[in-house]
A and B are shown apart, each in its own frame.
Chain A
């Protein structure tokens, strides 16, 4: 009798205990991500989503996640643009410390060899090196040419669309 009572009580406890709800989360992984109204790239953009934005997954249909943001907005995002690994955990095995981590407070860290930080042009020190070593003109021109190969985000987007790649494949 005691055993039956015990089992009965345990059963009651289990039945009324709150169940853990498995809410799957993903995080925005790539730049240029946005929440779409439908699961196709041409659909209306609801909002842009910065990298590391956390999203609650509602469903996955083919290559599109139906998600909800913190503010409650719902929409679709291409699966290639999200990860189920929280930010910061991606490369735990890799030595991520700065190559110059000892110099963060040093007076040496000044705007040294170049000040045009927004544009990756040929460094002044490279030009000086080319002169000092009398680098052949053809190699100097080759480097100049390569460093002129800028690709804009719009060009890349258009390229993916024309190739029907990724979110443009559907």
Chain B
């Protein structure tokens, strides 16, 4: 897209220290690679997809740092963190994601929320997990976030936005932050994440109705949780989401036979 072209060109043309450092790194790295390539007689190896991934991860790291500031630090429970990563990676296998790794983190917070930074870092709060009943519910929520991550919804949300000429990277990240933590993604992206996430959960072998149970739990919490930053402030109306998910359940006629794995979930959530 043209805005990305202008965004990168602006690094080459303008002087602010931050942009120059980025450009300097690009140029120096480029020169080193060019030299190596000349010596080896080959073309430069770097592809658009690799640079795109760099952009995702750089912005994702910044968003994650902001996420810790806003919502809290990782829960100091390695077993719980490992468990959530295993559930997430199990679902990701069946979500047709690119090969890039995903990282899941439970943060200590009173809010009911989860979100996906660009670059594969996915947050979920301790309070949100504690109010779930079984592993299929956790899988449902993580499935939703995995779809956001794998389909690059956050980055796609800023396509076409006019960035400032002197600080395009910082400007882009500011827009990403506003969307992720305040405004929320486009409703269609949210509904897509609900539907595709549920599909991934079902493929994995979990009960896809787990996600609907979570939405119903959130509905009962909604009246108490009007704080900024909760799922309610950044997502479509819960009742509408439940309705759409219910409609999709016709695709999963044997959902009642699918795994919920309550015992393991209870054990891991209460582990200190």
Contacts and interface: CB of A to CB of B under 8 A. Distances in A.
Interface residues of B, number: 75
A170 B178 CA distance: 46
B93 A99 contact: no
B192 to A, nearest CB: 8
A140 to B, nearest CB: 8
17 contacts: A32-B93, A99-B155, A108-B12, A109-B50, A110-B44, A112-B29, A113-B29, A113-B58, A120-B57, A120-B101, A126-B62, A129-B61, A143-B65, A146-B105, A151-B85, A163-B264, A165-B204
Contacts of B26: 108, 110, 112-113
Contacts of B30: 107, 110-112
Give the secondary structure class of B's interface: helix
B74 A146 contact: yes
B49 A98 contact: yes
Interface of B: 1-2, 4-5, 8-9, 12, 18, 21-22, 25-27, 29-30, 33-34, 44-55, 57-58, 61-62, 64-65, 68-69, 73-74, 81-82, 85-87, 89-90, 93-94, 96, 99-101, 103-105, 119-121, 135, 151-152, 155-156, 159, 192, 202-206, 254, 258-259, 261, 264
A122 B119 CA distance: 11
Given A111-B30, A142-B73, A165-B205, A103 B86 contact: no
B86 A156 contact: yes
Contacts of B22: 112-113, 125
A130 B58 CA distance: 12
Interface in A70-129: 79-81, 90-91, 94-95, 98-104, 106-115, 117, 120, 122-126, 128-129
A49 B5 CA distance: 39
Given A103-B4, A145-B74, A150-B101, A98 B52 contact: yes
B56 to A, nearest CB: 9
Contacts of A139: 65, 68-69, 73
